[in-house]
Structure 1
Amino acid sequence: MTARTLAVVTAGLSQPSSTRLLADRLADATRAALGPDTVVEVIELRDTAVDVTNNLLTGFPGPSLKEVVDTVTRADGLIAVTPVFTASYSGLFKSFFDVLDKDALEGKPVLLAATGGTERHSLVLDFALRPLFAYLRAHPVATGVYAASSDWGSVSATGALQRRVERAAGELAELVKAAPEKAVTDELTSLPFEQLLAAEGLN
């Protein structure tokens, strides 16, 4: 059996950010539930912003963005974490998932999480993130994780957040374990025909 792979997409803009901190906690808890041989790939969307914009304008990813997209597409499980902007996910977060192929996340186990200033924004999980990933035909776990600023402010609050993290991570691990292993595909045959033509300068 090959090692399971876990892609972690975090859309925090500052460095360091509470979004990345939450993403790391979720990744560590999921890896602990899956086993030490789990391969974790963390993707900071702030590093892909220019490439994502170029992809939206041209229709094709550059080499570095293609590598990121392939990492997400091939992963056995996905953790997606966004800060809340104007009561929804960030524009960068949405733009990244806009450039994925419409079938890229079909059936993929996903843990959804978000960070924000107050508890009032926690409904973003159910009213913004879940509809997006339902459209992409992914398989979100039942427990989403939202972390407000107050969740980092005391031992009791941090402990409550960690319990939510571990519950969601356990659910993601169970879905990943239950999924059949993916067959190895030829990289060239998996590319869209238009992209092959563009690479050869024939379009």
Structure 2
Amino acid sequence: MKLVIVSAGLSSPSSTRLLADRLAAATLDHVDAEPEVIELRDLATEIARHFVTGFPSDRLAAALDAVAAADGLIAVTPVFAGSYSGLFKSFFDVIDKDALTGKPVLLGATGGTARHSLVTEHALRPLFTYLRAVVPPTAVYAASEDWGDEGLDRRIARAGAELASFLAPAAPAPTTRTAPTPTPVAVPTPRDTAPDVDTTAAIAPRSTTGAITSVDASAGFGIVPFEQRLAALRTE
């Protein structure tokens, strides 16, 4: 697994590179990956030349290929004029339009004042959403006064854990499920449920000729026509 860190810091040492390193360390606390750092200030001239010629140098091509092949990306920029730096944007302008599709990208930015803290949401997140990257919920902005503050440490730790959750392979789903053993249910017998019935009585069936008949139990349940039974009653 490969984790690529893109830092657009211009100075050396750089607070942008420091934030990038700390985000990488927080991610590697949760997942085993091989980190690779790309310092954009070393590629500034080659990025500008690529805009003019349309052909990347060997070093720039290697950086672009590394980003495209990465399993995850950490991208950190300094804030200039309230947004990402031109160098940062230029690098992602020359990258292949499909290189970041579905790739998890953790965002970070540094600035001199907390007034720019929403740059990750109004500038960086829309850029990488346009590139169809998968951006974790937590992005980290570090102002000058944030360094050494526990709040920054907590945001870095949370962001690293979120990126690691995108990189870590998901546990395989179970392929079979064991059906629960059914609980035996006692089925009542007719003797348990049926009321006592006088077996000498029965529902009178209809004869095949349509005449109403009755059952004479004393005659062995023979069928007696209704007219014959009525005449017998009249003579009694």
TM-score w.r.t. structure 2 length? 0.71
- Cα deviations by residue, 1:78-125 (Å, 9 ceiling, x for unpaired): 000000000000000000000001101001000000000011101100
- In 2, Cα distance between equivalents of 1:80 and 1:110: 7
Unaligned ranges ≥5, structure 1: 180-203
* CA shift for structure 1 position 178: 4.2
- In 1, Cα distance between equivalents of 2:18 and 2:10: 12
Q: For 1:166, what is the secondary structure of its paired residue?
A: helix
Greater mean deviation of Cα atoms: 134-143 or 169-178: 169-178
User: Pick from 159, 174, 192: which aligns with 2:165?
Assistant: 174
Q: Percent identity?
A: 62
1:148-159 → structure 2 map (5 Å cutoff):
148-152=143-147, 154=148, 157=149, 159=150
1:85-100 → structure 2 map (5 Å cutoff):
85-100=80-95
- In 1, Cα distance between equivalents of 2:99 and 2:83: 22
Unaligned ranges ≥5, structure 2: 171-236
Q: For 1:57, what is the secondary structure of its paired residue?
A: helix
User: Pick from 36, 39, 42: which aligns with 2:34?
Assistant: 39
* CA shift for structure 1 position 48: 0.5
Name the count of aligned residue pairs.
Answer: 170
Whichever residue aligns with residue 138 of structure 1, its letter is: A
Aligned to 1:51: 46
CA RMSD of aligned residues (A): 1.0
TM-score w.r.t. structure 1 length? 0.82
- In 2, Cα distance between equivalents of 1:113 and 1:178: 24
- In 2, Cα distance between equivalents of 1:70 and 1:29: 24
Aligned to 1:19: 16
The 4+ residue runs of structure 1 with deviation greater than 6 A are none
* CA shift for structure 1 position 58: 1.1
Whichever residue aligns with residue 140 of structure 1, its letter is: V
Aligned to 1:163: 154
Whichever residue aligns with residue 127 of structure 2, its letter is: L
* CA shift for structure 1 position 177: 1.6
* CA shift for structure 1 position 32: 1.2
